[in-house]
Structure 1
Amino acid sequence: MAIITFNEEKNIADCIRSIESVADEIIVLDSLSTDRTKEIATSFSKVKFYESPFPGHVEQKNKAIGFCSNDWIFSLDADERADKTLVHSIEAFLESENITVNGYKIARLTYHLGRWIRHSGWYPLRRFRLFQKNAATWVGENPHDYIELKSGSIGKVMKGDILHYSFTDFSHQITTINQFSSIVAYTRYAKGERFSLAKTIFKPFGKFLEIYLFKFGFLDGIPGLWIAIASAFSTYLKYAKLYELDRKQIERPSNVRKEYGKN
């Protein structure tokens, strides 16, 4: 099992407990936390704790894979838990023989604004989370990473959910949106993308329609409406921050850590 962390003292214990019974080892790669993350994580006997500056989500998760000693890896974020059904599915997988696939997708269910969000593009959002070490790699646009199989076949979707406690409240969501939009803008600018007024105007509106109508966000009630609005706002922020970078008003957004992007 592999987890990356930074100041996750409120989450890391529950994350580890949810999967501890089926893990041979639990790799925690920490980005130099300043809270009790290390103290809590290392209190679990199966944890192997490592520290490294944070170059980016994709890069850090691939580095965590490198510390794993087993052929099969299960990956969780610190704010995620494996539900009981998923744990039983993994137990059955470990007991099986003649495995001919290299990865399994697992659904993720997010708790937000007092309810489980089952629409809005947030569920089931199946991604590879159980995979063979030598057949997979983390890819994507930081901070939106995902596993890509380099070779081999895909197994059936595993029964059970990864439970995602992404935000403590709406204010936390806005803080995360502000941080993640900065990372996206900074990453895209480094890759050569430049500001577009048309995209700044029309993309947020399109994102709202996508989440609220086409992905049935309205079925999630008021939280679905808030999610659609927040997603549109996030889209706007990415382009607004790209404007600052493109006009040389800043070298990087102020909430992007200095070590980000350095391998």
Structure 2
Amino acid sequence: MEGKRKRKLSVAIITFNEEKNIGDCIRSVESFADEIIVLDSLSSDKTKEIATSFPLVRFFEAPFPGHVEQKNKAISFCQNEWIFSLDADERANETLQASIRAFLDANTVNCDGFKIARLTFHLGRWIRFSGWYPQRRYRLFKKEKASWVGENPHDYIELKSGSIGKVMKGDILHYSFQDFSHQINTINQFSSIVAYTRYAKGERFSLFKTILKPIGKFLEIFIFKFGFLDGIAGLWIALASSFSTYLKYAKLYELDKLKMERPSNVKKEYGKK
């Protein structure tokens, strides 16, 4: 970061086998970061080698207990009052970079966090409907005023009671899936985590929900959230979302009725702090 600014900023990123993404992610925040925290879940690829080649990076490693827990752990390593949290498959676009630099240079800031829109690239195009955009969430925030919460893996930043939030110009660019195989693998992984988490909280299998919820999800995405305006990509997104919803309840059936300890693709250390 060039020059001296009114306030300092830490960037927090969690990683696991992100050698294809981490370099571009870091480059998108170098112009405004004072430090970049990378918390890695014991990657077996070149994630560490690439991340540590950047002078602003402070690299840490820890087993992965869950998305919420790991992202809050990354925050705990940050040394500055303000934090920008980013996933490895995300980038700050040029407008957002300029907005953050202006924020760091401003004389006064009358809020505790900023919501930022996220724009996802999928199936060869930017998805602007289907419930995927703008998806504004808090991503830039005061360390003592916010934390990651939610149901793993669907986490989000929550400001503490009484905190003031605003919206910042610019987009986080999200490169979510490499191809259909990657998307199916992600759906399989995430649905297992959701089912496992919900079962641990007391939810049980429901045939009624297993039948109706996937249908409702398709209609929600494709019709009510205008997925049809995203063309064939919107149809695929709606179908994939419906399938993901079905898998959550199918895996609840395995946990509840078949008394499985956990889905086979959920690691034993998951959920341990």
The superposition leaves residues 12-44 of structure 1 with CA deviations (integer Å, 9 ceiling, x where unpaired) of 000000011100000000111111111110000
Select 1:134's aligned residue among 144, 147, 154.
144
Select 1:64's aligned residue among 56, 69, 74.
74
Structure 2 length normalisation: TM-score? 0.95
CA gap 1:7/1:77 in 2 versus in 1, 3 angstroms: same
SS in 2 for 1:130: strand
Q: Which residue of 1 aligns with 2:6?
A: none
* Unaligned runs of at least 5 residues, structure 1: none
The superposition leaves residues 213-234 of structure 1 with CA deviations (integer Å, 9 ceiling, x where unpaired) of 0000000000000000000000
Letter in 1 for 2:233: P
Q: Which residue of 2 aligns with 1:79?
A: 89
Letter in 1 for 2:246: Y
SS in 2 for 1:178: helix
For residue 151 of structure 1, report the CA deviation from its aligned partner: 3.7
For residue 250 of structure 1, report the CA deviation from its aligned partner: 1.9
Q: Which residue of 2 aligns with 1:143?
A: 153
For residue 249 of structure 1, report the CA deviation from its aligned partner: 4.1
Q: Which residue of 1 aligns with 2:39?
A: 29
Matches within 5 A, 1:6-17: 6-17=16-27
RMSD (Å), alpha carbons: 0.8
More helix by share: 1
Matches within 5 A, 1:183-262: 183-262=193-272
Whether contact under 8 Å (1:100, 1:153) holds in the other structure is no
For residue 247 of structure 1, report the CA deviation from its aligned partner: 1.7
Whether contact under 8 Å (1:102, 1:151) holds in the other structure is no
SS in 2 for 1:55: coil
Using the TM superposition, name which of 240-249 and 121-130 deviates more.
240-249
Matches within 5 A, 1:108-187: 108-187=118-197
Q: Would you identify which runs of 4 or more consecutive aligned residues in structure 1 move more than 4 Å? A: none
SS in 2 for 1:157: strand
Using the TM superposition, name which of 18-27 and 245-254 deviates more.
245-254
The superposition leaves residues 108-141 of structure 1 with CA deviations (integer Å, 9 ceiling, x where unpaired) of 0000001000000000000000000000010000
Distance in 1 of aligned mates of 2:18 and 2:268: 20
* Unaligned runs of at least 5 residues, structure 2: 1-10
Structure 1 length normalisation: TM-score? 0.98
Distance in 2 of aligned mates of 1:68 and 1:161: 23
Distance in 2 of aligned mates of 1:92 and 1:151: 27
Number of equivalenced pairs: 263
SS in 1 for 2:13: strand
